């Protein structure tokens, strides 16, 4: 049976920093002591990401980003509702904003709550299964943040409050 919350690490561990989201989710999974949360990893993005989200009530996606707006190793939340629909030059063809928008317009069972935890990367193009030092140092704090968010998602879903 599928749990209501999904924590999904995405990336490609053979490209230096690109595996940081997956590594952080693996660490969080190893430290999780409760039920009600599925931990998964995937090396996909865009439209290919949608089938991983189907049927969940809340999802946290963990991946790297290269914005140049912050230091490598910094982690931050990205508002998925504010992501603009866009096509990407990457092989999967669409950004997360486009994929969520299309999925919802097709009435797919996309979770109402999709959050994105990004870890700023410095190198996602060179082969190597060891992240750069600032990104490697960010994996444990990111795993701590994943666990806090997972507990928060669970608590919000279990609330039977009537407003």
Q: How far apart are CA 42 and CA 90, in angstroms?
A: 16
Going from N- to C-terminal start, the domains of the chain cover 5-158
CB atoms near residue 72 (< 10 Å): 21
Q: Which of 29, 27, 30 is nearest to 6 (CA)?
A: 29
Least trusted range by pLDDT, from 1-5, 24-28, 62-66, 84-88: 84-88
Q: Which of 62, 36, 67 is nearest to 49 (CA)?
A: 62
Q: How far apart are CA 146 and CA 19, in angstroms?
A: 16
Read off the pLDDT of residues 77-114 as tens digits, 9 standing for 90 and up.
Answer: 988 877 766 544 443 456 788 888 888 889 999 898 99
CATH number of 5-158, picked from 3.20.20.150, 3.60.110.10, 3.40.50.1450, 1.10.357.10: 3.40.50.1450
Distance of CA 39 to the CA centre of its chain: 11
């Amino acid at each position: 049976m599928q749990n209501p919350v999904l924590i999904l690490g995405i990336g490609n561990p053979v490209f230096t920093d690109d595996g940081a989201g997956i590594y952080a989710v693996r660490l969080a999974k190893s430290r999780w002591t409760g039920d009600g949360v599925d931990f998964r990893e995937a090396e996909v993005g865009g439209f290919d990401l949608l089938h991983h989200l189907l049927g969940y009530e809340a999802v946290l996606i963990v991946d790297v980003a290269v914005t140049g707006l912050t230091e490598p190793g910094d982690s931050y939340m990205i508002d998925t509702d504010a992501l603009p629909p866009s096509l990407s030059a990457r092989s999967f063809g669409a950004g997360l904003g486009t994929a969520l928008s299309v999925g919802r317009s097709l009435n797919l069972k996309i979770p109402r709550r999709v959050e994105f935890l990004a870890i700023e990367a410095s190198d996602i193009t060179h082969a190597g299964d060891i992240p750069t030092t600032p990104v490697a140092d960010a994996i444990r704090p990111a795993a701590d943040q994943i666990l806090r968010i997972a507990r928060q998602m669970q608590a919000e879903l279990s609330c039977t409050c009537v407003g």
